[in-house]
Every structure is written in C-alpha cells, then in structure tokens.
C-alpha cells in the first residue's frame, strides 16, 4: 500500500507542475480535466502526508521513552501520547485504504428505494410502514430529497409496498448495503395474548439509472392503462391514469398510480424500470466476476436475513457484521449512522482483502 502511495505522491507533484504550465493553464478544457484528476489525488496525498507527520510525532515520543535516566513524569506523558498517536495513525491508515479502493461508479447516484411487506400479514405491513419512515427520516437528516413514486397501503395504515426516489449526494454510497430481509420481533397491536410474533420486510436499494445507461426498446414494452384504486379523490376509479409497464424480455413489471396524470405515472414507472434493469445487469456482471475470483465483492443477497429489530429488548442486530445496538427507538427515527458506518467499513475491508488477493 505504501509503495503505491509514494508513487501517487510523485504523480501529484508532477501534476502540480503541469497545472501551472502555459500549455495547460492556457487551455480551459485541458485545465479542467487535469484539475479534476489533481483534486482526486490531492485528498489521498494530503492524508498520506498527515500519516507521515503522525509517524514522526510517534518517533519523537519514542526517543523520550528510550532515553536512559529520563524523568518518570515525562516518560508517563510520552507513553500516553504514543498511545493516542497510534490510534490516530490507525484511523488515517484505515481512511487511506478506503481512498485507494477502486471507486464504485454508482456511489454518487440517487437511490430507488423499494420496501415491501413479507411474511407476517398485517403486522408485516405495519412494520414496512415503520421501515419506510425510518429511511425517510434518515434522508431528512442527510438533507436528501424523497419523492414517493408508488405505494400500496392496507386498511390499518400499513404498507404492502412503497417505492421512492431518494435524491442527494452520496445517497447510494450510504444505503447500498440495506438490501435484504429485515425481521421484526414484537407483540403486535392486534395480539391479545401478548405473544411475540416474528414478521419480515424486504428492502431493495437500487442505483437510479440514467437513460444513457440503459437502452430500452419500445417494442420490448407492454404498457397497460387502468383506473387507479383506493382513496385519493374524484379521479380514482374514473380516469385511466394508472400505468403498468411490463418489460417483456425480463418479465419485470412496474405499476404507478400515485399521480393523476397518466404521463407523470408513466415517467415514474420508467425511472423505476430503468433502475431495475440496470441493477439486473450489474448483478449478472458481478456473478460472472464472482465465479472468476471465487468471491463476491460488494453485493448483497436480498434473500438473506440481514437485520433483526427486537422490540422487547429494544435491540437492533445486523447479522452480517454481528453488531447489536440497544438503540431501537433512535434507529427507527432515522439515526442510522451507528449501523451504517460499521457496515460500510466492513464491506470496504472485504473489498480491500479481495483486491490484495487478486
């Protein structure tokens, strides 16, 4: 790792000189291209130099400790400083490893979030509503915009299904590991005997695909128009504004009826379909890479149970990293970073180990 960092520092110095040259400085297009690459390198090199500074501080503190006949109080202070500096050094090394990993091209994309009730009947639908609200609250904390694309509710206020677009910087990078089965253990409001029930909700997090990334042939689509159902006003059951789009080659189906305008519903449905097709293509590519490498990097199997929300013990457990937190109320209110930060670190470490083995 450090040999690579030394090479990057040399490249950074060369680019610094190049940016100031008349050839680049006088050409706006060239300057923009080089300035972007320079900025990406600058983050890594700055952190690498900070790492070196901390190493030097540790060396100086070690000199005090190794000096014969030193003052005991001074030695004690030096020992404390070395322990503190080593912690800083480890943190910087961790960040350097993260920066050296090949960047996920989807990290800056918006997110198509899909939440569906699984096993558990009405209780699963009620929990699906809470999970959907949890991600909405987290988006608010991050300053992201949430747009509901499609939803289907139950009579008791639960969710059969909800699909939303989350727009914001780094949305996919933060949420991409949330796909999977989320299990809840609690006494349902409808349970009179006080027995604890187990229900499940499935979550899918897709990177929103741009039109240029996924080409959809119109002849591969079947578009059905029908009257929207459920509460919503005078246009419900009278105007054929609801849309169902079927992608014939893959049999993917997307329905949208939240808008009164047929055109808007079709536009939303196509955004979801593009993202699902993009996700499908990526998974096929990842499967091919997995067979070649005998490992799967950065992918989550949605059929696996990834997390359990235990209400009697106010505990949330992520089974992939064996992490349990007694912060259920806070997490359901959108305080997700205590879960997401360790998850992201875990998967980055997996990617790093995979890169080293290749």
Tell the residue number behind the tokens 């593009």, with chain if given.
Answer: 274
Nearest to 259 by CA among 267, 250, 249, 271: 267
Q: Is the pLDDT of residue 234 over 50?
A: no
Going by pLDDT thresholds of 50, 70 and 90, the confidence category of residue 339 is very high
- Tens of pLDDT, residues 33-79: 888 788 878 888 898 899 889 999 998 888 888 877 667 788 888 88
Cα–Cα dist 110/318, whole Å: 24
DSSP 219: G
Cα–Cα dist 96/94, whole Å: 5
Query: In sequence order, which ranges of the chain are alpha helices (DSSP H)?
Result: 2-19, 22-25, 28-66, 72-100, 121-142, 171-175, 262-293, 328-332, 337-357
What local confidence, expressed as pLDDT, does residue 302 receive? 39
Q: Kindly report the pTM of this predicted structure.
A: 0.65
Average pLDDT of the chain to the nearest whole number: 84
Tell the residue number behind the tokens 């100086």, with chain if given.
Answer: 60
Nearest to 299 by CA among 307, 289, 308, 309: 289
258 Cβ neighbours under 8 A, 6+ residues apart: 148, 149, 150, 151, 265, 268
What local confidence, expressed as pLDDT, does residue 239 receive? 61
What local confidence, expressed as pLDDT, does residue 301 receive? 37
Q: Is the pLDDT of residue 127 over 90?
A: yes
Q: Is the pLDDT of residue 19 over 80?
A: yes
Dihedral (CA of 349, 314, 141, 127) sign: positive
Structure tokens at 284: 């096929």
Weakest-pLDDT range from 8-12, 140-144, 210-214, 247-251: 210-214
- Tens of pLDDT, residues 155-188: 888 999 999 999 999 999 999 999 999 999 998 8
Q: CA Rg, the chain, in Å?
A: 26
Q: Is the pLDDT of residue 356 over 60?
A: no
Question: Three-class SS of residue 245?
Answer: strand
Beta bridge partners of 151: 162
Structure tokens at 186: 């609690």
Cα–Cα dist 53/341, whole Å: 26
- Tens of pLDDT, residues 66-118: 877 667 788 888 888 888 999 889 888 888 877 777 777 888 889 999 999 99
Q: Would you state the torsion angle of the CA atoms of residues 13, 19, 23, 28, taken in this order, to the nearest 10 degrees?
A: 160
What local confidence, expressed as pLDDT, does residue 4 receive? 78
Weakest-pLDDT range from 9-18, 163-172, 224-233: 224-233
Going by pLDDT thresholds of 50, 70 and 90, the confidence category of residue 237 is very low
What local confidence, expressed as pLDDT, does residue 164 receive? 93
Tell the residue number behind the tokens 């006088």, with chain if given.
Answer: 26
- Tens of pLDDT, residues 311-322: 999 999 999 999
Give the other-Cβ count within 10 Å of 219's Cβ: 7
Q: Which residue has the higher pLDDT, 235 or 104?
A: 104
Longest pairwise C-alpha distance within the chain:
93
Q: Which residue has the higher pLDDT, 300 or 22?
A: 22
Q: Is the pLDDT of residue 299 over 50?
A: no
Q: Say if CB 315 and CB 307 are below 8 A apart.
A: no
What local confidence, expressed as pLDDT, does residue 303 receive? 46
């Amino acid at each position: 790792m450090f040999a690579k960092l030394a090479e990057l520092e040399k490249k950074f110095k060369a680019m610094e000189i190049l940016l100031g040259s008349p050839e680049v400085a006088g050409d706006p297009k060239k300057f923009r291209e080089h300035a972007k690459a320079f900025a990406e390198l600058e983050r890594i090199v700055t952190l690498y130099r900070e790492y070196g500074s901390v190493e030097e501080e540790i060396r100086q503190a070690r000199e005090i400790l190794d000096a014969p006949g030193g003052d005991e109080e001074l030695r004690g202070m030096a020992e404390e400083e070395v322990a503190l500096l080593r912690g800083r050094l480890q943190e910087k090394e961790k960040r350097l490893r993260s920066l050296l990993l090949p960047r996920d091209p989807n990290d800056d994309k918006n997110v198509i979030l899909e939440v569906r009730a699984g096993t558990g009947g009405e209780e699963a639908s009620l929990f699906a509503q809470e999970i959907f609200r949890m991600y909405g609250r987290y988006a608010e904390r991050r300053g992201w915009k949430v747009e509901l694309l499609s939803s289907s509710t139950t009579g008791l206020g639960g969710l059969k299904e909800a699909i939303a677009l989350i727009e914001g910087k780094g949305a996919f990078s933060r949420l991409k590991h949330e796909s999977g089965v989320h299990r809840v253990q609690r006494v349902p409001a409808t349970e009179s005997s006080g027995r604890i029930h187990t229900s499940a909700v499935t979550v899918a997090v897709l990177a929103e695909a741009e039109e240029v990334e996924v080409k959809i042939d119109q002849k591969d689509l079947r578009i059905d128009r029908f009257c929207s159902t459920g509460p919503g006003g005078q246009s419900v059951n009278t105007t054929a504004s609801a849309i169902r789009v079927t992608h014939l080659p893959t049999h993917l189906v997307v329905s949208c009826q939240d808008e009164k305008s047929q055109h808007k519903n079709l536009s939303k449905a196509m955004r979801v379909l593009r993202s699902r097709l993009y996700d499908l293509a990526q998974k096929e590519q990842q499967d091919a890479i997995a067979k070649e490498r005998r490992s799967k990097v950065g992918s989550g199997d949605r059929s696996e149970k990834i997390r359990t929300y235990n209400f009697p013990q106010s505990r949330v457990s992520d089974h992939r990293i064996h992490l349990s937190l007694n912060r259920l109320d806070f997490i359901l209110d959108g305080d997700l970073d205590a879960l997401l930060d360790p998850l992201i670190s875990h998967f980055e470490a997996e990617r790093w180990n995979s890169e080293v083995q290749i």
